[in-house]
Structure 1
Amino acid sequence: MLLLAVDTATPAVTVALHDGTATVAESSQVDARRHGELLLPAVDRVLAEAGLALDAVTGIVVGIGPGPYTGLRVGLMTADTFGLALDVPVHGVCTLDGLAYAAEGIEGPFVVATDARRKEVYWARYADPRTRVTEAAVDRPADIAEAVAGLPAVGAGALLYPETFTDPRGPQHVSAAALAALAAEKLAAGEELPEPRPLYLRRPDAQVPKNYKVVTPK
């Protein structure tokens, strides 16, 4: 097994290779505006570090969000393209699950929260690093304060709103290494992974104006 994992659902552009047992190579850069520029060079860099060619990959893992439309689609389209070109399966993993899986030293219930912009967070509750107990959602922090009160919180969203998330923990952004390790664990156990389809949870920022006038040729 050799999994190539990518995620662009958060400001981190993250790539990793995983052989089913351990991470072979990884790269992460935080830049919310350059997902499209940074992703493919990161893939090349990780393959070069591992001394492997792209055709050695036996499966693709991609973070499916939730995340902003523009960034999220970069990773998903790249994963789909690699899957088609290499004729290998493409597995989706919830980005929040990857963050939860990477959380260290948290034994009891906790929350994962990432920045959803518009003064909102993408979030979910977890019983432990491998078990999500709520669906991923997008909300204003003040609206979920009661639901997350007193719980440790992982992710950059928790740091942005300390009045709601009173016990922030690391990591801030998802790593492709964690996504790949979680996917490898689930695949080895015979579990099904989600389809590589985006969890947008809301409409994109760019929309056609309501009073848009359609001009047709005469």
Structure 2
Amino acid sequence: MLLLAMDTATPAVTVALHDGDRLVAESGQVDARRHGELLLPAVDRVLKRAGLELDTVTGIVVGVGPGPYTGLRVGLVTAATFASALGVPVHGVCTLDGLAYASGIDEPFVVATDARRKEVYWARYDDRRTRVGDPAVDRPADIAERVARLPAVGAGARLYGEFFADARDPEHQSAGALAALAAERLAAGEALLEPRPLYLRRPDAQVPKNYKVVTPR
């Protein structure tokens, strides 16, 4: 097994190779505006560090969000393209699950990423492997009572520290953790997600509802 993992659902553009037992190589850069520019060079960099060619990859792992529309689609489209070209499967993993797994926390806690618009994408966990319910998007003030006494990881927890009092690492996503979680689930025979975007809300750019009618003279 050689998994190529990537996630662009957050400001972190992160790529990793995992052989099913250990992390082989990883690259990450935080830049919320350059997902499209940074992802393919990161894939090339990881392969070079590992001394491997792309055709040795046996599966693709991709973070499916939740995340903003544009950045999230960069990773999903790239993952689908690689999978099609190589003839290998592509496995989706919730981005918040990757952050939870990387935390190493084995007590109830919260993962929160920045959703912009003064909101967070978030979910509760019983431990680093077990999510409670589906991810959601909310204003931190609206969930303050539910998260106030829980440890929290992710950039959203640090950004809104007045509501997430016990903010911990990691702040940003790691494709290495995402790949390790996927490898663990695959080895256990668990089904992973379809590689479809988890948006939770409409994109910022939308088609106008009312067009101005222009008639030829």
Query: Residue 159 of structure 2 corresponds to which residue in structure 1?
Result: 160
Pair 52,150 (structure 1): closer, same or farther in 2 beyond 3 Å: same
Displacement of 1:134 in angstroms is: 1.8
Displacement of 1:147 in angstroms is: 1.2
Q: Does 1:185 align with 2:190?
A: no
Write the letter of the residue equivalent to 2:200: L
Displacement of 1:210 in angstroms is: 2.4
- Taking every aligned residue pair, what percent have the same amino acid on both sides? 82
Query: Residue 142 of structure 1 corresponds to which residue in structure 2?
Result: 141
* Structure 2 Cα separation of the partners of residues 206 and 216 of structure 1: 27
Q: Does 1:195 align with 2:188?
A: no
Pair 157,24 (structure 1): closer, same or farther in 2 beyond 3 Å: same
Query: Residue 75 of structure 1 corresponds to which residue in structure 2?
Result: 75
Displacement of 1:164 in angstroms is: 0.9
Q: Does 1:111 align with 2:110?
A: yes
Q: How does 1:28-177 map to 2 (within 5 A)?
A: 28-104=28-104, 106-177=105-176
SS in 1 for 2:106: coil
TM-score (norm 2): 0.97
TM-score (norm 1): 0.97
* Structure 2 Cα separation of the partners of residues 140 and 123 of structure 1: 10
Q: How does 1:196-211 map to 2 (within 5 A)?
A: 196-211=195-210
The alignment of Structure 1 onto Structure 2 pairs a total of residues equal to 217
- Aligned-residue CA RMSD (Å): 1.3
* Structure 1 Cα separation of the partners of residues 214 and 38 of structure 2: 38
Which stretches of structure 1, 4 residues or longer, exceed 4 Å deviation after superposition?
A: 214-218
Write the letter of the residue equivalent to 1:166: A
* Structure 2 Cα separation of the partners of residues 214 and 47 of structure 1: 53
* Structure 1 Cα separation of the partners of residues 216 and 179 of structure 2: 52
Pair 47,150 (structure 1): closer, same or farther in 2 beyond 3 Å: same
Gaps of 5+ in 2: none
Displacement of 1:39 in angstroms is: 0.1
Query: Residue 213 of structure 1 corresponds to which residue in structure 2?
Result: 212
Pair 161,22 (structure 1): closer, same or farther in 2 beyond 3 Å: same
Displacement of 1:162 in angstroms is: 1.2
